[in-house]
């Protein structure tokens, strides 16, 4: 009975979807449909951001109100462990899917799943992230909400049977709406999507993303107001003589970004080598709980402490710590800042490694704020200067985002939007550029793209990579070649030539192993010498080509082989077994068709 009703509901759903498709096709052009869907995706992504912020806020407030500021909070010794444990159980036993590294998952969907993201990712990241951060996990909500927005865009597009090009555009709309919603910053959402996620920038793609980003931001501000994120109005004017110090901060931010990326990679590999989940949870969770007990600012997102720094209150970072009574000492203050800068990334890696779900967006902002505070306060104390602490903290936040994410424009626009520092563009541009250049020198790929780049699965803004990713080696294999044996005589080969339409003859062993090739052009002078038919064997006529295509290779690798080889046909093998050939002409023809399909020319 339940199966019958389930089939009935599925039938009505498909019928409703078909009627909606017919209506849209009849009354809406493709452009109008995309504009309408961008509004829907932006609205849903903005609501997802609002829901995530509210869940984290109320959960965290409940926990924080359980203790006083002056004494150590012993709840920190088990809450983070409980959070990562619950998060792991939810992901492993209920979701049964990998939802970590949200931004990387979105990029992966472009190259491996043709923009298709599972429906469960529309809610699973929100739940797991809330549990992780609410119990004190030292990560940010940005990557999970980006994955949520991307999943919303992907599934809305699939509902309307969108092609790959429009599906990618809707994923970008969902990501932009999510970032804009979590920060209340529409320009940042747009720039983040174009700089980090988007793979082709045209006017046709820019407008839907802008609309989705604006819709997400408006939705967030409507429900949350200025509580959408921290807010700080720049009060100290920018002074030209401070530029050298901002440059120093930018360079320092670049090196700290390299440290951030190095620790993230090493700890990720270390946790990856721990095979038993129980050990990962215990090692990561216990270590995280102990670290947060010693350094309470690592609890959760950290935006509360960022707001305190912007508002000139640096005393709260000592609350619940063993250093509370020594906070007036400069040595203790600077030492504590250094520990916060160096250990925040460790806390983030412990959270994710133990099974928590969260991103590095907020942790990089956290580190940047305290790096800027450290640099400015150091110059003030050591050299008697009067550098504005809040302004340097703001610039440090931009420097770390630019260095860690390799997204300097996102850093500039996000900081200006959430802080109101529109008259602060010059120092923000300086620190972001300096940090990005230093980080890029030592790390060609960002924290989001490195794992994909190592696997050859990274699509960049290069349309060529996109088109090649849409092509499959399997579909290009031609199999209408007559195979011959190495022991066949020339006479037998001539008979095979008479019944073949190709001028290439693959030579295979009894078990199908590929041994070589015989070209018709190489033996055409022998065909007219019947006296040699029984004297010469195929083994004497064949040769082994230097270039071979493996059946599992992707099209980018195949294209590189054709580029470096003079051959017009390259054999395809499955291990050592002959499969067929891929021709240069066939690759080019399919490439042109995919370019036309993707570009909608």
In a 3-state reduction of DSSP, which class is residue 431? Answer: helix
- Domains in the chain with CATH codes: 2-228 (1.10.3080.10), 240-462 (1.10.3080.10), 466-599 (3.10.580.10)
Other Cβ atoms closer than 10 A to 498: 9
Assign 3-class secondary structure to 90-140. HHHHHHCCCCCCHHHHHHHHHHHCCCCCCHHHHCHHHHHHHHHHHCCCCCE
CA 243 to chain CA centroid, Å, is 33
* Residue found under tokens 């004297």: 535
Per-residue model confidence (pLDDT) at position 70: 44
* Residue found under tokens 């793979």: 199
- Tell me the torsion sign for CA atoms 177, 179, 184, 185: negative
Per-residue model confidence (pLDDT) at position 308: 84
Structure tokens at 591: 């490439």
Q: Rounded to whole angstroms, how far apart are CA atoms 427 and 128?
A: 37
Q: Rounded to whole angstroms, how far apart are CA atoms 120 and 122?
A: 5
Residue 571: CB partners within 8 Å, gap ≥ 6? 506, 514, 517, 545, 548, 549, 578, 579, 580, 581
Q: Rounded to whole angstroms, how far apart are CA atoms 45 and 213?
A: 9
Per-residue model confidence (pLDDT) at position 261: 93
CA trace torsion 343, 349, 350, 353 (10° rounding): -170
Burial bucket for residue 9 (CB in 10 Å: 0-12, 13-18, 19+): exposed
Question: Mean pLDDT in each 10-residue stretch from start to end of the chain (601 residues)?
Answer: 51 59 63 87 94 85 59 73 91 82 74 77 90 90 90 89 83 92 90 77 80 93 72 72 94 96 92 90 93 89 85 78 74 91 95 90 94 95 89 94 93 88 87 96 83 57 61 84 89 85 88 89 81 84 88 83 86 90 84 64 40
- Cβ atoms of 167 and 122 within 8 Å: the answer is no
Structure tokens at 420: 């109101």
């Amino acid at each position: 009975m339940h199966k019958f009703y389930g089939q009935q509901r599925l039938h009505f759903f498909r019928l409703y979807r078909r009627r909606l498709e017919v209506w849209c096709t009849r009354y809406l052009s493709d452009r109008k449909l995309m504009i309408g869907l961008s509004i829907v995706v932006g609205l849903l992504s903005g609501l997802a951001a609002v829901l995530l912020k509210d869940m984290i806020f109320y959960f965290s407030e409940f926990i924080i109100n359980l203790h006083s500021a002056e004494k150590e909070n012993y709840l920190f010794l088990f809450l983070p462990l409980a959070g990562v444990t619950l998060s792991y159980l939810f992901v492993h036993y209920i979701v049964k899917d990998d939802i970590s590294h949200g931004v990387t998952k979105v990029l992966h969907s472009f190259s491996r799943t043709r923009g298709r993201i599972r429906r469960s990712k529309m809610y699973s990241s929100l739940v797991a992230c809330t549990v992780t951060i609410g119990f004190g996990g030292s990560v940010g909500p940005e990557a999970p909400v980006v994955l949520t927005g991307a999943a919303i865009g992907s599934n809305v597009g699939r509902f309307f049977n969108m092609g790959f090009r429009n599906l990618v555009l809707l994923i970008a709309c969902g990501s932009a709406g999510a970032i804009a919603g979590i920060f209340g910053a529409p320009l940042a959402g747009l720039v983040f999507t174009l700089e980090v996620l988007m793979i082709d920038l045209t006017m046709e793609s820019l407008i839907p993303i802008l609309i989705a980003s604006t819709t997400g931001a408006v939705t967030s501000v409507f429900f949350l107001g200025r509580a959408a994120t921290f807010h700080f109005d720049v009060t100290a004017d920018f002074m030209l003589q401070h530029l050298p110090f901002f440059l120093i901060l930018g360079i320092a931010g670049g090196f700290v970004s390299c440290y951030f990326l190095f620790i993230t990679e090493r700890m990720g590999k270390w946790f990856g080598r721990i095979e038993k989940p129980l050990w990962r949870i215990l090692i990561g969770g216990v270590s995280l709980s102990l670290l947060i007990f010693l350094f309470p600012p690592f609890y959760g997102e950290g935006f509360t402490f960022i707001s305190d720094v912007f508002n000139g209150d640096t005393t709260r970072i000592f609350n619940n710590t063993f250093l509370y009574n020594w906070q007036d000492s400069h040595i203790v203050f600077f030492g504590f800042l250094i520990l916060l800068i160096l250990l925040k990334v460790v806390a983030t890696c412990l959270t994710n490694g133990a099974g928590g779900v969260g991103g590095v967006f907020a942790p990089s902002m956290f580190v940047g704020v305290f790096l800027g505070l450290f640099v400015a306060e150091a110059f003030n104390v050591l050299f008697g200067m009067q550098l504005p602490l809040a302004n340097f903290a703001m610039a440090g936040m931009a420097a770390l985002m630019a260095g860690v994410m390799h997204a300097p424009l996102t850093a500039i626009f996000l900081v200006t939007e959430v802080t109101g520092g529109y008259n602060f563009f010059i120092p923000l541009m300086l620190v972001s550029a300096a940090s990005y250049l230093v980080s890029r020198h030592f790390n060609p790929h960002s924290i989001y793209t490195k794992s994909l780049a190592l696997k050859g699965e990274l699509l960049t803004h290069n349309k060529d990579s996109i088109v090649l990713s849409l092509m499959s080696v399997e579909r290009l294999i031609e199999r209408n070649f007559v195979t011959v044996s190495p022991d066949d005589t020339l006479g037998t080969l001539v008979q095979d030539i008479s019944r073949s339409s190709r001028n290439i003859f693959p030579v295979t062993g009894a078990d199908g192993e590929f041994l070589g090739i015989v070209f018709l052009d190489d033996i055409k002078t022998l065909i007219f010498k019947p006296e040699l038919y029984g004297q010469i064997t195929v083994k004497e006529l064949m040769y082994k080509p230097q270039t071979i295509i493996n059946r599992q290779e992707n099209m980018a690798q195949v294209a590189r082989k054709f580029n470096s080889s003079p051959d017009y046909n390259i054999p395809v093998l499955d291990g050592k077994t002959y499969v067929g050939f891929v021709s240069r002409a066939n690759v080019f023809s399919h490439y042109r068709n995919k370019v036309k399909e993707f570009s909608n020319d």
